[in-house]
Each structure stands twice: as structure tokens, then as C-alpha cells.
């Protein structure tokens, strides 16, 4: 009765059909846009630390890490540390791997809280800009020969910064692993006037990713993830490395 293969096949069919339901997609975008006015994406924690992500994206990332089992996860943008702890806690359960993360505003108390977790030996934190050449080379030095690498970009969401990050970090992603570009949703929703930011429609991670994917053929957008999420901060932002 509980056979996994037909269950998985049925899920894929339903997710695709769900994604083709234009009215449902419009409603999902409405929910996201309206709930964002109440900082919906700021209301969650992972193992006690605030994580600035939608629950849907947290689950999707968990699925990817568990399936791909990377040796190294690099994240730009730490904020309160919840996402770093999410990745490291899953790696701890897998039994291998480390998280390398960078934030230009990394606060001492946040660093202390992150490094207080029992699996903190898996976590390496840097304070500085993700595009600072000295930070990039210190991060690269941590990657051993043959190690598999996943990258998540979640720092400054302006077009220019994300494009620079993509050119610096995406080449580190190994075949079969993911490049996750957060907040591509900014291109799909009205300018967030309740939360003034330098980015908005036309100047955001999605516009940067579009340029990057045109200049680098080694990645493909995994639409199966967006199809099932419906509500996500990273539409078309889940990219799998398929070739060098
Ligand atoms: C959206 S938050 C990160 C959220 C976090 N990944 C999470 O899921 O909880 C963005 C973070 O990027 C950081 N940031 C902004 N510009 C940056 C830069 N140039 N380099 C590194 N971090 C940056 C900010 O200080 C902020 O903490």
C-alpha cells in the first residue's frame, strides 16, 4: 500500500498541474505579497534562532541538503544565524560537512549564539562583504580537493551585488549540487514600500540570475521545486549544476 515510487510519481504530476493553475498561482502571490506587509518571512526560528525565510523555502532547502549531502555549504548573508544553524544541523544529522558563511554586519552576540550549538565545529563565520576578494579567497581556501559544494546567496539583494556574487561563488558549485538565489521574488511583487530597500522590480536577484544564466550554461533552474512550493521567496532561484 505505501509504495514510495508511485507516491513520488503522483506528487510530481500533482505539483506540475498545480503550477499550471494560473488562478492558484495568482492567489499564492497575493498571499505572499499581503503577508509580507506583516513581515511573514521574519516570524520564524530554526532551533531557536531567527531565520529570515519562508517555511516553504526552509523545507525545500532541507530536502535539497538531505538529498545532495554536500561537503561544503557556503551562504552569503547570515543575519540572526537561523539559516546557518539550519544547514549545520542537517549536516550534523548526515554526519559530515561544514557551513561557511559571511555577513558584512555579523554581530558578536550573533556569532556567540551560533557557535554555542553542539555542532558548531561545522560552522565557519566571516565578517565582511561577500564580494571582498580577501573574504572570497579565505572561503575558497576552506574547500578541499574533490569536495562537493552548495551555495546560497542571501545578502545584499541589489542586481549589481548579486551578479558579482554569482560570478564569484557559482563557479564553486559542483555538479549535482545547488545554487540557491534567494529573494528572486522581489521581481514579481510591487516595490516593498513598507520596507524601504535599494532593490525592487528590475533591480534584484532575479534580474542578476537571468544575466548570469545567459553567460554560464552549467546550471539549470529546477522548476520542480518552485512548482510544488507555490509560495516561495526564490521563484526560479533553485538552480542545479549540471555541467562545468
Ligand atoms: C536577508 S538577510 C540574511 C538572512 C539569513 N540568510 C536567514 O535566512 O536568516 C541579509 C543579510 O545580508 C547581509 N549583507 C548585506 N550586504 C552584504 C554584503 N555585501 N556582504 C555580506 N553580507 C551582506 C546583511 O547584513 C543581512 O544580515
What's this model's pTM, rounded to 2 decimal places?
A: 0.97
Task: Provide mean pLDDT across the span 1-30.
Answer: 95
Asked if residue 79 has its Cβ within 6 Å of ligand 1, the reply is: yes
Q: Best substitution site from 45, 58, 59, 77 to test ligand 1's pocket, by max atoms within 8 Å of Cβ?
A: 77
Q: How far apart are CA 213 and CA 131, in angstroms?
A: 19
pLDDT of residue 58: 98
pLDDT of residue 91: 98
Q: Which domains does the chain have, with CATH numbers?
A: 4-241 (3.40.50.150)
Length of the chain: 244
Residue 42 is given by DSSP the state G
Residue closest to 14 by CA, chosen among 242, 222, 239, 228: 228
Cell numbers standing for residue 193: 514600500
pLDDT in tens, 151-169: 999 999 999 999 999 999 9
Q: How confident is the model at residue 196 (pLDDT cuts 50, 70, 90)?
A: confident
Q: How confident is the model at residue 193 (pLDDT cuts 50, 70, 90)?
A: confident
Q: Best substitution site from 78, 81, 99, 184 to test ligand 1's pocket, by max atoms within 8 Å of Cβ?
A: 78
Measured in whole angstroms, the distance separating CA 208 from the mean position of its chain's CA atoms is 15
Q: Please provide the average confidence, as pLDDT, over all residues in the chain.
A: 97
Cα 14 to middle of ligand 1, angstroms: 35
Residue 194, pLDDT above cutoff 90: no
Cell numbers standing for residue 15: 505539483
pLDDT of residue 162: 98
Residue 115, pLDDT above cutoff 90: yes
Q: How far apart are CA 113 and CA 111, in angstroms?
A: 6
Residue 218 CA neighbour count, 13 Å, CB half: 16
Asked if residue 203 has its Cβ within 6 Å of ligand 1, the reply is: no
Q: Indicate which atom in ligand 1 lies nearest the CA of residue 53.
A: 8
Contact predicate 172/145, CB 8 Å: no
Task: Provide mean pLDDT across the span 43-67.
Answer: 98
Amino acid at each position: 500500500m505505501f509504495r514510495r515510487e508511485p507516491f513520488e510519481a503522483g506528487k510530481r504530476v500533482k505539483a506540475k498541474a498545480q503550477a499550471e493553475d494560473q488562478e492558484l498561482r495568482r492567489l499564492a502571490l497575493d498571499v505572499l505579497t499581503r503577508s509580507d506587509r506583516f513581515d511573514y518571512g521574519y516570524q520564524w526560528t530554526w532551533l531557536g534562532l531567527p531565520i529570515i525565510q519562508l517555511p516553504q523555502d526552509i523545507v525545500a532547502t532541507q530536502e535539497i541538503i538531505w538529498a545532495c549531502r554536500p561537503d561544503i555549504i557556503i551562504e552569503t548573508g547570515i543575519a540572526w544565524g537561523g539559516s546557518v544553524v539550519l544547514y549545520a544541523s542537517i549536516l550534523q544529522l548526515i554526519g559530515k560537512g561544514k557551513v561557511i558563511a559571511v555577513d558584512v554586519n555579523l554581530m558578536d552576540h550573533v556569532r556567540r549564539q551560533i557557535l554555542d550549538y553542539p555542532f558548531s565545529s561545522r560552522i565557519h563565520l566571516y565578517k565582511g562583504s561577500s564580494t571582498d576578494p580577501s573574504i572570497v579567497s579565505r572561503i575558497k581556501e576552506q574547500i578541499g580537493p574533490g569536495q562537493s559544494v552548495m551555495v546560497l546567496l542571501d545578502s545584499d539583494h541589489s542586481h549589481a551585488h548579486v551578479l558579482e556574487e554569482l560570478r564569484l561563488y557559482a563557479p564553486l558549485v559542483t555538479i549535482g549540487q545547488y545554487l540557491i538565489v534567494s529573494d528572486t521574488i522581489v521581481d514579481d511583487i510591487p516595490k516593498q514600500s513598507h520596507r524601504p530597500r535599494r532593490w525592487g522590480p528590475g533591480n534584484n536577484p532575479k534580474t542578476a540570475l537571468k544575466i548570469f544564466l545567459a553567460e554560464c550554461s552549467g546550471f539549470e533552474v529546477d522548476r520542480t521545486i518552485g512548482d510544488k512550493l507555490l509560495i516561495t521567496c526564490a521563484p526560479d532561484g533553485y538552480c542545479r549544476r549540471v555541467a562545468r
